[in-house]
Amino acid sequence: MNEIPGGRPHAAVSRTTGAPSPADHTGDTAPGTAPRRPRPTRRRTLAAALGLAGATALAGTLGGCSVPAPRRGGPTADPAPGMPITGSRRAQLMQIMAHPDDDLYFMNPDCQRMVDAGVPLVCVYVTAGEHNGKNHIPGRTGETVADKEDYSSARHQGLRQAYAQMIGLDRFTPWQKGVATLRGDRQAEINTLAHGNRRVELVFLNLAMHAPRRWMALPSLWEDRALGLRTVIATDSPVRRADTYDYDGLVDVLVGLLERYRPTVVHTLDPDPDIQHSDEATRKKDSEQPGYSDHGDHTAVASFSWAALVRWVAEATADGGAIPAFTTTSFRGYYNRHWPKNLPEPVLREKAAHLVPYGGDPSWQCGNAAGCGDYMVGGRRPLTNKKGWVRSTHHRHPGTGPVVATGPDGRLTVYGVLGLRAVRWRETEPGSGQWTEPDDLGGGPLAPALGAATLLDGRQLLFGLRFAALGGHGGANRREVAVLEQRSPGGPFLAWSGLGNPERDDDRGRRIGVPVAVTAPDGRVHLFVRDAGKGVSTRVREADGTWGPWRGLDGAEVQDGLSAAVDGRGRVHLFATGRDRVHHWAQERSGGPVAFRADGPALPVPGGPVDTAATPDGGLALYYRRPEARELTAVRPDGARLAAPAFDGYGPVVAVGTPKGPVLLGRDLAGRVRLHVAGRDAVRTRGVVALGPATPHLGPKGALAVGIGADAYPWSWASHTDTA
């Protein structure tokens, strides 16, 4: 095994995002003739002498020769462990989006749950959302007059209406408007509104969506180091001058905002969308970039966001500084179009309701002369849109909650990802529910979900999806699976080791999912990941610690969020969500190869990840919710239906088998943590709002739920004592 080298991490995105792409989801598809667009600027450089590495940026030209300036070097993230971590325990959510409405379509209901709990929110919108300037009014005949400044302003007003209503105010409540000075002396409009313990700030960077000879400007800004992109001044904005952004300028501005707000939770879009081949007419209708299941602006902004997160950590830790304590979640975008929908009707209607005030209506008296929303989005259109974006919420890196283990002294240990790095918290005393400050285990930059396996001797293995290289301008974009192995049970760890990637091509390698692992009775560890072809690849660690090669498994296309388990006969099983059924891989005998069960029964189609629990008879049971269903489904791998407890809610369910029946952990319809133990239910109503799935743990006093809160700190809750 090779130790992961410390190298300069960059920031990432598809090599195809610079190609001609469709409009964003609120506007039309690309017309035959492009509207007038802001003029880009180019920096011209002169090399001091042929072959010298240094280049000096000049304002003019020399002899008609133009050479782009090299990208500025930045601080380097160090994957070595042992750095200090600092956190205020003051929850703060920051969302970074490409377009106005990306948050409402793709990041809810997660965002709303935190706002409802009193977590302050700041939303950063990178583009002006101006598209071709046409704010179409549904049902109105005749040509819509194009006005980019008005259309941008109308979309801003729609956001103000949506968030005012979200925090419990009248949709037309006036906001405080101002100008924020950013890094590089750039300016952005900032809108602020507070109500009780709820506070929302909207930051509009307003970069142009399009540029001459580039239908999509942001993907080009990611790829082309010579491009400078002007901002759009929205009508009635307090910002009075346009700014120019290049690659480094946008990363720097995002880093400055991260440093200014110091979020404990960061929401981004998907930096590595699925490969998706549609015919050209369907692709344009669905507003997808060529070859991938998302909008090109989404991918570019997600990549800029991850580049900024990496740089923020690197700047903060330079010269012995501390890692900022934050968690990340990346949300799928147009991916939602291609898979079964996962939100039940009550949650869906709540989510879609926020798009009604955003879409607005031209008859409204909202006080904004440029427009009262993005008119093609309002009313019932989010629910009737055949693309179905609003009907699902998917995380790019789904997990089953933090890794929880019991140490030799009886204290619980929690492993998670903080500041893009693996960390470990320990209980101060056995059963106390109080936690030490986090220990930095290094390994970053890591995706937010860790996989884990416990060896037969009690040692822990942690698996992460590492952004091994993350760079624009044609730079490397690599992902790899990495492993951290414990030296002794409850003790220190060895150095991180790289396990590579089942895909040989870097672009395909970016599409892999989060690692899932399980230890078999023979001491072998089976590691699984979803690969670029939407299938499953595996790698096996032998009992002596050596790893075999990556091997692709036969099977059908699946979503990420795999579930691995060992049955009572010692056989390894793997389950994954397909388009029309649960897919199953298993060993025929203990110690044999894991293979696809092509002739297995057609298990009911799930709406999201499934989880697996042992049954008292040594078998396995699967627990999940069907598409758009609130009810729980329970089924054996052979197709036999099991009696499922009343456990209404949404999102994934995590299960643990016990002799008295399953322990189930999930969310109710209001997004609260719900625990089912010994036939009884309880809902967590106190404590900091939970992020993502929680982890059930069976201890000497019963079942315990352990999770990470919006303050980037662990919480634990036992339903039998109702403690938080």
User: 533 or 278: whose pLDDT is higher?
Assistant: 533
pLDDT over threshold 80, residue 367: yes
Indicate the residue type of 588: E
Sign of CA dihedral 89, 250, 477, 283: positive
Q: In percent, how much of the chain has pLDDT > 90?
A: 77
pLDDT at 213: 67
pLDDT over threshold 50, residue 32: no
Exposed/middle/buried for residue 686 (C-beta within 10 Å: 0-12, 13-18, 19+): exposed
Exposed/middle/buried for residue 598 (C-beta within 10 Å: 0-12, 13-18, 19+): exposed
- Give domain status of residue 127, yes or no: yes
Measured between alpha carbons, how far is 46 from 1 in angstroms, rounded to an integer?
44
pLDDT over threshold 60, residue 512: yes
Measured between alpha carbons, how far is 70 from 226 in angstroms, rounded to an integer?
9
- Give domain status of residue 421, yes or no: no
Q: In which residue are the tokens 């050479």 written?
A: 67
User: Lowest-confidence range among 205-214, 241-250, 653-662, 689-698?
Assistant: 205-214
CATH number at residue 317: 3.40.50
Task: Give the strand order in the sheet containing 572-577.
Answer: 563-566, 572-577, 582-587, 594-596
Measured between alpha carbons, how far is 705 from 82 in angstroms, rounded to an integer?
28
| Structure confidence at residue 585 as a pLDDT band (50, 70, 90) | very high
The arithmetic mean of pLDDT across residues 44-71, rounded, is 33
pLDDT at 33: 35
Measured between alpha carbons, how far is 256 from 263 in angstroms, rounded to an integer?
12
| Structure confidence at residue 26 as a pLDDT band (50, 70, 90) | low
| Structure confidence at residue 646 as a pLDDT band (50, 70, 90) | very high
pLDDT at 80: 83
Measured between alpha carbons, how far is 530 from 675 in angstroms, rounded to an integer?
29
Q: In which residue are the tokens 């800029």 written?
A: 304
Measured between alpha carbons, how far is 353 from 169 in angstroms, rounded to an integer?
14
Give the largest CA-CA distance in the chain: 83
> Residues 716, 706: contact at Cβ < 8 Å?
yes
pLDDT over threshold 90, residue 42: no
Measured between alpha carbons, how far is 624 from 632 in angstroms, rounded to an integer?
6
pTM greater than 0.75 (yes/no): yes
pLDDT over threshold 70, residue 50: no
The arithmetic mean of pLDDT across residues 346-363, rounded, is 96
Element (H, E) at 265: strand 265-269
> Residues 167, 183: contact at Cβ < 8 Å?
no
pLDDT digits (tens, 9 = 90+) for 434-493: 999 999 999 989 999 999 999 999 999 999 999 999 988 778 899 999 999 999 998 999
How far, rounded to the nearest angstrom, does the alpha carbon of residue 57 sit from its chain's CA centroid? 37
Measured between alpha carbons, how far is 672 from 578 in angstroms, rounded to an integer?
27
Query: Which residue, 287, 293, 289, 301, is CA-closest to 274?
Result: 293
Q: Is 315 helix (H, G, I), strand (E, B) or coil?
A: helix
pLDDT at 679: 85
- Give domain status of residue 572, yes or no: no
546 vs 4, 567, 707, CA distance in Å?
17, 24, 32
Q: How many domains does the chain have?
A: 1
User: 282 or 10: whose pLDDT is higher?
Assistant: 282
> Residues 561, 577: contact at Cβ < 8 Å?
yes
Query: Which residue, 1, 216, 11, is CA-closest to 127?
Result: 216
Measured between alpha carbons, how far is 222 from 83 in angstroms, rounded to an integer?
31
- Give domain status of residue 369, yes or no: yes
Tell me the pLDDT of the chain averaged across its residues: 88
The arithmetic mean of pLDDT across residues 71-83, rounded, is 70
> Residues 242, 230: contact at Cβ < 8 Å?
yes
pLDDT at 172: 98
pLDDT at 312: 97
| Structure confidence at residue 323 as a pLDDT band (50, 70, 90) | very high
pLDDT digits (tens, 9 = 90+) for 217-272: 999 999 887 788 999 999 999 999 999 999 999 999 999 999 999 999 999 999 99
pLDDT at 73: 57
pLDDT at 573: 98
Question: How many helices and strands in the chain, by DSSP H and E?
Answer: 11, 40
The arithmetic mean of pLDDT across residues 59-67, rounded, is 32
Exposed/middle/buried for residue 630 (C-beta within 10 Å: 0-12, 13-18, 19+): middle
What angle do the packed helices 296-317 and 247-261 form, to 10 degrees? Answer: 60
pLDDT at 141: 85
| Structure confidence at residue 721 as a pLDDT band (50, 70, 90) | low
How far, rounded to the nearest angstrom, does the alpha carbon of residue 340 sit from its chain's CA centroid? 19
pLDDT at 76: 59
Beta bridge partners of 68: none
- Give domain status of residue 234, yes or no: yes
pLDDT digits (tens, 9 = 90+) for 608-640: 999 999 999 999 999 999 999 999 999 999 999
Angle, CA 649 vertex, CA 89 and CA 377 arms, to 5°:
85
pLDDT at 87: 84
Measured between alpha carbons, how far is 257 from 184 in angstroms, rounded to an integer?
12
pLDDT over threshold 70, residue 45: no
Measured between alpha carbons, how far is 388 from 374 in angstroms, rounded to an integer?
18
- Give domain status of residue 653, yes or no: no
pLDDT digits (tens, 9 = 90+) for 368-401: 999 999 999 988 899 998 889 999 999 999 998 9
Measured between alpha carbons, how far is 239 from 13 in angstroms, rounded to an integer?
30
Sign of CA dihedral 715, 610, 608, 685: negative
- Give domain status of residue 546, yes or no: no
Domain with 207, as residue range(s), is 90-137+144-391
pLDDT over threshold 90, residue 56: no
Angle, CA 119 vertex, CA 115 and CA 122 arms, to 5°:
80
User: 46 or 303: whose pLDDT is higher?
Assistant: 303
How far, rounded to the nearest angstrom, does the alpha carbon of residue 236 sit from its chain's CA centroid? 33
pLDDT over threshold 80, residue 16: no
Angle, CA 194 vertex, CA 190 and CA 196 arms, to 5°:
165
User: Lowest-confidence range among 36-50, 129-143, 263-277, 683-697?
Assistant: 36-50
Measured between alpha carbons, how far is 492 from 561 in angstroms, rounded to an integer?
29
pLDDT digits (tens, 9 = 90+) for 112-169: 999 999 999 999 999 999 999 999 999 888 889 999 999 999 999 999 999 999 999 9
- Give domain status of residue 332, yes or no: yes
